[in-house]
A and B are shown apart, each in its own frame.
Chain A
Amino acid sequence: MAGTHQTTVRQRVGDVYDRWLLLRWLSKLVPIGVMLGLWEFASGRLVPAAILPPFSATAEQIVVLGSSPEFHGHATDTLFRGFAGILIATVLAVPMGLAMARNDRVRRTLEPIVSLTYPVPKSPLIPLVIFWLGIGNASRITLAVIGSFLPILLSAYNGADAVERELLWSARSMGVSRLEEVYEVVFPAAVPTVMTGIRIGLIFSFVIIVSSEMILAQTGLGVLVTDFGQFGQYSKVFAVIFWIAILVAGIDRIYLLVSSRLLAWSDRGVSGI
């Protein structure tokens, strides 16, 4: 009697828990829906529609824009620049960060440079880099590298620097060479931190690319924003912003999902502000 009672309680708890997981997932969408609803309601009632076009008008433009090949071209350009930048920055910054953590000489050379440049805003370089490298891909990719390089470098340095000594000692005692040690011990131990650094780098590189496209460019999503803005087509501006939000937030979400899968072996996850 008591046993059956227990199982039913457990089943019920389990049932509610399962549903709750799904509910929790769905409940995350509710606030977004509420905000969109407020937007729709406010437009034309609380504020003039000229200042805030209703969400329904924007939704129309979102569909129109999403199916236009011209928009696809701009979006591909921006995404290509962002990914190329982050790739180059990662390839350059991770080895440098590891070297900084493992070698005193490298550390003494690079530390002052990093601590002098890290807090400096990189956005003033946008006009200069465009002037030097032109209004095409070269300047944007360079800017993306500039924007994401230091967070990735520091994450690799921090991760490698925090490797437990016991790990290194035991590797050493097993006859591992210094280079093997970096490859086999230091790098894997630094990976969770590096993944966080890359996430921050990704965010920064898209900020700087879109900014630079809004300042001076021929293609890219930033150009669309300023062009529609200049012609006063505000529901189109909102539609572009929506797509940029979906793309960048989507990339961020996918990155978080993939990296938490990849880091399943580690007790640390990807985080980062």
Chain B
Amino acid sequence: MSASQGSVTAGESIGESIGTTLDYLKPLVGLVVVWELIATFELVPEQSLPHTYVVGETLLELTLEGSLLELAGVTVGRAFAAFLIAIVIGVALGLAMAQSTVIGWFFDPIISLGFPIPKVTLVPIYVLWFGFGTVPTVALAVTSAVFPIVIATYDGARGVKRELVWSARSMGVSRVGVAREVVLPAALPSIFNGVQIALFLSFVVVVVAEMVTAGGGIGQMLTESVRFFQTATTIAAVITVAVIGLVSDRLFRLFRGRTLRWTEDA
């Protein structure tokens, strides 16, 4: 838990301590310059790395034409659906595991052994069960994203001070009531750490599933454009996913800061 907090708060303190947008623009400008130099002097074949302006044009064209936004919409919708489902399942299971010794005993080994396993291997099985398209993609992303949420919730809920739970129980609050009114708020900072990783994983897995099953969205666009040597389109798709990932992460941090304003961990 300490580590997950570490990695997340590090990102935050990094964001805060910079402040100036100039520092952010520098690496981006640097990347474009290096890329353009490589392309201009043809250090790699043009087919591998087209000029920056070619990629820019492609990006603009695909956006105006509407196809890029449509595909991105499919991917974002799937990732977001998986993210929300994973939160509901993950938080409920994590809380139940912390509240009940039996549930905790049963799921603890399954969760801790299952977490490091690459869930993408389930693609053929999910295709067999759910067919092609949105359902197996979302199911796979849920399967991946639920683990960090369960672990973070379980850890956070177990760390809640016993006195808090006892005093609530002594005031006649039910077990479910204690879970909702006492444990959940107290575990929230930890839960947010897990949820942030889940957001990242949802996007990663949705794109991979789309690539493996040719199941539409940005993922299919990526594999198809590479197959037809349309490298500019591939890079445009990579940039699109990068921007989406960055924006959703920023929005999530804002939301997290708002929600956790009352704690020290915000």
A contact residues vs B (CB 8 Å cutoff) = 27-29, 31-32, 34-35, 51, 108-109, 111-116, 118-128, 130-132, 151, 154-155, 157-159, 161-162, 193, 196-197, 200, 202-203, 206-207, 210-211, 214-216, 221-222, 225-226, 228-230, 234, 237-238, 240-241, 244-245, 248-249, 251-253, 268, 270-273
Interface residues of B (CB under 8 A from A): 1-4, 6-7, 10-11, 14-15, 17-18, 23-24, 26-28, 44, 48, 105-110, 113-125, 127-129, 148, 151-152, 193-194, 197, 200, 203-205, 207-208, 211-212, 218-219, 222-223, 225-226, 231, 234-235, 237-238, 241-242, 245-246, 248-250
Residues of B within 8 A of A116 (CB): 24, 27-28, 246
A112 touches B26 (CB 8 A): yes
Q: How far is the CA of A15 from the CA of B225 in the complex (A)?
A: 66
Interface contact A131-B234, CB-CB below 8 Å: yes
**A234-B128, A241-B122 known, 15 other contacts, Cβ within 8 Å:** A32-B110, A108-B23, A109-B26, A115-B18, A121-B245, A123-B207, A124-B219, A154-B11, A155-B7, A206-B116, A214-B208, A229-B123, A270-B3, A273-B151, A273-B197
Query: Interface majority SS on B: helix, strand, loop or mixed?
Result: helix
Q: Could you tell me the distance between the alpha carbons of A230 and B211 in the complex, rounded to whole angstroms?
A: 15
A124 contacts B121, CB within 8 Å? no
Asked whether, in the complex, the Cβ of B6 is within 8 Å of the Cβ of A158, the reply is yes
Q: Which residues in A have their C-beta under 8 angstroms from that of B245?
A: 119-121
B227 nearest CB across to chain A (Å): 8
Do A111 and B6 touch (CB < 8 A)?
Answer: no
Is B14's CB under 8 angstroms from A248's CB? no
Looking at B7, B151, B223, which has the most chain A CB atoms within 10 Å of its CB?
A: B7
Residues on the A chain within 8 Å of B208, using CB: 123, 126, 211, 214-215
Q: Is the CB of A225 within 8 A of B121?
A: yes
How many Å from the CB of B50 to the closest CB on chain A? Answer: 12
| Distance in Å: Cβ of B159 to nearest Cβ of chain A | 12
- B129, B148, B231: the one within 8 Å of A131 (CB): B231
- Indicate if the CB atoms of A31 and B109 lie closer than 8 Å: yes
